[in-house]
């Protein structure tokens, strides 16, 4: 061997030594993450990713799961259902992840679901609200976010206090939006509230004036708005331009009131928001200490405060999967699926424990998350009067 | 009736912005015979440049707007010099692929620089709307439509009434003859592309404050621009203007009186009808430019 060959060999060995895991005897446990990191709802997806990374770092700082480090394999679904399905396939086939968290929007989650069944890998659903996610008989689905029905039920007790007599709906034209109109519409009709217009908007639409003009002509008093924060901002601004005076209630927990105050300004004043995390008053959460720690860690990392109402989902999703792997004792898809049914702990949102949902024999898991209502008052996020007086 | 008036105003305002998006593309498409898939990215660029000028450098709103348009033209010129000039004379497919590549690269570049979170662009106009009976319209929107129409008229005058415009038309009708008449062909290509890009950047700079600025905002803009160009006919400026207004009003009325879920579909149905019945565009004359 020539001198040059020898030095090449040494170089190769040195690189090999560098790549080998230093200090961890075993390979890390991989967890797949599918989120919209680009496209119209990218902001939300990125916040969920940040929350997931906090959960990963916290778990690893405490020695990992079963003595092994947790590693996240993160895929971008580009806010597109087609991409969500191929991301799931890539994670399962190429990265061989034993469990996945995803995929934010209901349409994206629903598109990824057949892949889970095909390969037999469980997915913890952290955001999606459409009822169909847990009703399709996919036993690999475990949802920690509330379906719209649960949200509607959570709001039922406040309908009288909100003083809604006739409501209109404006929702994004996805499984989530359509499901939300159905669920809240049913609940309100049962309460004797009149339902006016039910308008849709495309996920990428920016001009909602036509819908607003139509809603204006119904003479209702309350508007239920279901979409991501970007579109909520636009609808609030355009409603102001058209002098639409309604009580606005956003559903789905993706409204990020803090971002609305920043971007919609006065147009957001007085609006109500259904949220699943209240970073403004973390001590009021079921586990105040954990919630406070999460808010502090988020701030320490320099993440924007307005992302917290999405970010906690990432934390709770990864914590749920880690908990299941701990119970299973191994990172094998089938064992994790079985263990997910035994998971019982408190996340940032509150207690996480799965109950059966969907057709018998092929049930999905559905946890019962905590649901809160906040209001934007004087440019700040506060508890609505009917809650604060208690 | 009240709602109809408001719908018509909304539709015309929206249509004016579609028209502005469309004319930049129709210029490049019709004159240069180049399918510019990156058109929407110059729109995005215009919006982010305005945001950068206002929020980061603290410029006056109108100065930031003008600067964004100028920089949009510079970016367009650079893109023509670096990417398209070496490919001159190649087939339309080759340049189309290059433009698709540029589209993807620019959009991801924007995501890298600005992040995925939408930016709200501040503007000096009052938020309280002007009202006239049942109809209301925000002052900012009035400004946008008036400016858009002014830019459209300016573009039309430049093409039809100036020496440069005549040189542009001559170049794209017959390169060789134009070159023999002393027209600097290379320069005309660069200027035309820069001009089209500046119009896209202007649309972005004007509409950014109305909506929000985010990396994928150009996709919808591109889609609308292509629709407008098809409606109006390639290279036809008055056609693109009318096409934009027609698309805006149709979408608005479709959403208002048929179904808001099919809002975009209404626009596309019209385009399919136009392609079936008048394939060279609603307003095509016997012979079109280019």
- pLDDT value at residue B171: 87
| A318–B contact, CB cutoff 8 A | no
Q: Give the pLDDT of chain B (290 residues) as one tens digit per residue.
A: 678 999 999 999 889 989 989 999 998 887 888 889 999 999 999 999 999 999 888 899 999 999 999 999 999 999 999 999 998 878 888 999 999 999 999 998 998 898 877 888 999 998 888 888 888 899 999 999 999 999 999 999 999 999 999 999 898 888 889 999 989 988 999 999 999 999 999 999 999 999 989 888 898 899 999 999 988 888 888 889 999 999 999 999 988 888 888 888 888 888 888 889 888 888 766 444 44
Of all residues in chain A, the one with the smallest CA distance to B140 is A241
Q: Which domain holds residue B119?
A: 17-216
Determine the average pLDDT of the residues in A344-355: 95
Q: Where in chain A is the domain with CATH 3.40.50.2300?
A: 29-147+287-366, 150-280+372-388
| pLDDT above 70 coverage of chain A, percent | 93
Torsion, Cα of B6, A208, B208, A269 (10° steps): 100
d(CA B26, CA A8): 57
| B135–A contact, CB cutoff 8 A | no
* Strand bridging mode A29-35 / A70-76: parallel
| B139–A contact, CB cutoff 8 A | no
Q: Do A42 and B214 touch (CB under 8 A)?
A: yes
Check if the interface score ipTM surpasses 0.95.
no
Count other C-beta atoms under 10 Å from residue B96's C-beta. Answer: 14
The percent helix, strand, coil of chain A (3-state, each to 5) is 45, 20, 35
* Contacting residues of B for A233, CB less than 8 Å apart: 118, 120, 212
- pLDDT value at residue B285: 61
First CA to last CA across chain B, in angstroms? 44
A297 has pLDDT over 60? yes
Determine the average pLDDT of the residues in A253-278: 92
Determine the average pLDDT of the residues in A88-117: 95
- pLDDT value at residue B290: 45
Note the Cα A310 to chain centre separation in Å: 6
Residue B234 inside a domain? The answer is no
Per DSSP, B84 falls in state I
Domain A150-280+372-388 CATH superfamily: Response regulator (3.40.50.2300)
Q: Do B10 and A213 touch (CB under 8 A)?
A: yes
| B264–A contact, CB cutoff 8 A | yes
| A43–B contact, CB cutoff 8 A | yes
| B117–A contact, CB cutoff 8 A | yes
d(CA A382, CA A380): 6
Q: How many CB pairs under 8 A join A and B?
A: 106
d(CA A214, CA A85): 36
Residue B285 inside a domain? The answer is no
Which one of B141, B216, B263 has the shortest CB-CB distance to A38?
B216
Specify whether the backbone of A345 is left (phi greater than 0), alpha (psi in -120 to 50) or beta.
Answer: beta
| B91–A contact, CB cutoff 8 A | no
Helix (H, G, I), strand (E, B) or coil at B63: helix
Could you give the number of structural domains in chain B? Answer: 1
Residue B278 inside a domain? The answer is no
Give the burial class of B83: count Cβ atoms within 10 A of its Cβ; 0-12 exposed, 13-18 middle, 19 or more buried: middle
Q: Is the dihedral of CA A312, A38, A112, A339 positive or negative?
A: negative
Neighbouring residues of A266: CB distance < 8 A, sequence distance ≥ 6: A240, B127
Q: Do A241 and B138 touch (CB under 8 A)?
A: yes
Q: Which CATH number fits domain A29-147+287-366: 3.60.20.10, 3.40.190.10, 1.10.730.10, 3.40.50.2300?
A: 3.40.50.2300
d(CA B100, CA A254): 33
A82 has pLDDT over 50? yes
* Contacting residues of A for B129, CB less than 8 Å apart: 240-243
Which one of A237, A243, A264 has the shortest CB-CB distance to B136?
A243
Per DSSP, B262 falls in state G
Q: How far is B171 from chain A (nearest CA, A)?
A: 38
A205 closest CA partner among B127, B110, B219, B17: B219
- Beta bridge pairs of residue A169: A198, A224
- pLDDT value at residue A4: 58
Residue B168 inside a domain? The answer is yes
Residue B245 inside a domain? The answer is no
A18 has pLDDT over 80? no
Range 62-91 of A in CB contact (< 8 A) with B: 79
For the residues of B64-81, what is the DSSP string, one character each? HHHHHHHHHHHHHHHHII
Q: How far is B69 from chain A (nearest CA, A)?
A: 22
Which one of A205, A241, A263 has the shortest CB-CB distance to B120?
A263
* Contacting residues of A for B109, CB less than 8 Å apart: none
Please enumerate, as own/partner, the contacts of A261-264 that have beta carbons within 8 Å and a separation of 24 or more: A261/A376, A261/A379, A261/A380, A261/A381, A262/A306, A262/B120, A263/A233, A263/B118, A263/B120, A263/B212, A264/A232, A264/A233, A264/A236, A264/A237, A264/B120
Q: Dig out the tokens for A336 from the structure.
A: 């994790």
- pLDDT value at residue A90: 96
B5 close to B134: Cβ distance less than 8 angstroms: yes
A204 has pLDDT over 70? yes
A290 has pLDDT over 70? yes
A333 has pLDDT over 50? yes
Where does A242-384 have alpha helices with state H? 257-264, 288-300, 308-328, 333-340
d(CA B68, CA B77): 14
Residue B56 inside a domain? The answer is yes
Neighbouring residues of B282: CB distance < 8 A, sequence distance ≥ 6: B231, B232, B233, B239, B242, B243, B246, B274
A14 has pLDDT over 60? no
């Amino acid at each position: 061997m020539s001198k040059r060959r020898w030095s090449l060999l040494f170089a190769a060995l040195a690189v090999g030594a560098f790549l080998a895991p230093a200090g961890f005897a075993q390979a890390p446990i991989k967890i797949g993450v599918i989120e919209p990191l680009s496209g119209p709802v990218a902001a939300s997806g990125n916040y969920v990713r940040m929350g997931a990374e906090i959960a990963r770092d916290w778990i690893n700082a405490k020695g990992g799961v079963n003595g092994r480090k947790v590693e996240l394999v993160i895929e971008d679904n580009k806010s597109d259902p087609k991409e969500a399905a191929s991301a799931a396939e890539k994670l399962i086939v190429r990265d061989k992840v034993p469990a996945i968290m995803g995929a934010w929007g209901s349409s994206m989650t629903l598109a990824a679901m057949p892949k889970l069944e095909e390969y037999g890998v469980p997915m913890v659903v952290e955001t999606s609200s459409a009822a169909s996610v847990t009703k399709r008989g996919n036993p690999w689905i475990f949802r920690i976010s509330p379906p719209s029905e649960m949200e509607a039920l959570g709001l039922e007790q406040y309908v009288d206090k909100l003083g809604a007599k006739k409501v209109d709906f404006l929702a994004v034209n996805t499984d989530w939006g359509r499901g939300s109109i159905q669920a809240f519409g049913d609940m309100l009709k049962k309460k004797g509230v009149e339902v006016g217009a039910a308008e849709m908007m495309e996920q990428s639409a920016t001009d909602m004036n036509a819908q607003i003009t139509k809603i204006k002509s119904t003479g209702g008093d309350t508007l239920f708005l279901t979409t991501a924060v970007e579109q909520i901002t636009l609808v609030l601004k355009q409603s102001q331009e058209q002098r639409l005076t309604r009580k606005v209630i956003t559903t789905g927990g993706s409204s990020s009131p803090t971002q609305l105050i920043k971007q919609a300004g006065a147009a957001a004043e007085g609006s109500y928001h259904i949220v699943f995390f209240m970073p403004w008053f973390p001590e009021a959460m079921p586990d105040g200490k954990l919630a406070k720690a999460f808010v502090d860690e988020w701030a320490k990392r320099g993440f924007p405060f307005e992302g917290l109402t999405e970010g906690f989902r990432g934390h709770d999703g990864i914590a749920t999967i880690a908990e299941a792997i701990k119970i299973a004792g191994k990172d094998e898809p089938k064992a994790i699926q079985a263990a997910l049914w035994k998971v019982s702990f408190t996340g940032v949102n509150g207690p996480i424990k799965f109950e059966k949902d969907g057709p018998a024999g092929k049930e999905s898991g559905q946890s019962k998350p905590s649901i809160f209502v906040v209001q934007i008052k004087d440019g700040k996020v506060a508890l609505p009067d009917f809650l604060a007086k208690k | 009736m009240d709602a109809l008036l408001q719908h018509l105003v909304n539709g015309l305002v929206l249509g004016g912005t579609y028209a502005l998006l469309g004319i930049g593309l129709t210029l490049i498409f019709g004159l240069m015979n180049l399918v510019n898939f990156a058109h929407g990215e110059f729109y995005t660029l215009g919006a982010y440049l305005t945001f950068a000028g206002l929020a980061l450098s603290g410029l006056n709103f109108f100065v930031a707007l003008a600067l964004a348009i100028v920089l949009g033209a510079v970016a367009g010129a650079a893109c023509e010099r670096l990417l398209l000039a070496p490919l001159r004379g190649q087939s339309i497919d080759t340049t189309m692929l290059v433009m698709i590549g540029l589209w993807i690269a620019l959009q991801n570049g924007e995501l890298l620089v600005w992040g995925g979170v939408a930016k709200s662009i501040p503007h000096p106009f009052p938020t309280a709307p002007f009202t006239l009976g049942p109809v209301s319209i925000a002052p900012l929107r009035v400004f946008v439509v008036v400016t858009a129409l002014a830019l459209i008229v300016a573009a039309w005058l430049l093409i039809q009434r100036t020496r440069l415009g005549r040189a542009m038309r001559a170049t794209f009708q017959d390169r060789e003859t134009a070159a023999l008449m002393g027209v600097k062909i290379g320069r005309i290509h660069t200027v035309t592309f820069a001009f089209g890009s500046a119009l896209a950047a202007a649309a972005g700079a004007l509409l950014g404050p109305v909506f929000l600025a985010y990396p994928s905002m150009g996709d919808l803009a591109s889609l609308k621009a292509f629709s407008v160009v098809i409606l109006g006919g390639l290279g036809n400026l008055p056609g693109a203007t009318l096409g934009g207004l027609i698309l805006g009003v149709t979408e608005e009325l479709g959403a208002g009186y048929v179904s808001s879920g099919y809002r975009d579909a209404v626009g596309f149905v019209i385009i399919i009808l136009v392609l079936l019945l008048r394939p060279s565009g609603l307003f095509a004359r016997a012979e079109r430019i280019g």
